[in-house]
Amino acid sequence: MPARNSNLNFISTRGPAVATRLHQSAMRLAYDALDTYREGHYDAARGMLRSACKLELDAASHASDTDVLTRAILCRSAAILALQAGALDEATRLARLCLRGVLPLHVAGVLGTLVITPTEVG
């Protein structure tokens, strides 16, 4: 059996279990980024958050095609991680991409706040 490592070599190829493992890895990385940020390593923390964002997107792509809520939540999480990483354009792109689908209202509301630009306000 391959060793478990940060390269995620241990993850099988598809399905909800894969999505769960990818999401868990993304959240661990996000928490590690918070610790790194607190230590004053801001660029490293932003890089970790960008990596966590990519893991969340991978998790969303592995979620069941019929599980719209899970896909929406993972997509929302990826957009928020991109925003926290300082990648505003990527966060906006992800939020708009997610809003194209049919989303539960509480998920769409959070994503809608990410796509409002200063020119659209007031």
- Each domain of the chain, given as residue ranges in start order, spans 16-120
CATH class of 16-120: mainly alpha
CB atoms within 10 A of CB 11: 18
Rounded Cα distance, 9 and 122, in Å: 49
Distance, first Cα to last Cα, the chain: 58
* pLDDT higher at 113 or 9: 113
* pLDDT higher at 69 or 107: 69
% residues pLDDT > 70 (the chain) = 69
**Whole-prediction pTM:** 0.71
Report which secondary-structure segment, H or E, holds 64. none
Residue 11 is predicted with a pLDDT of: 43
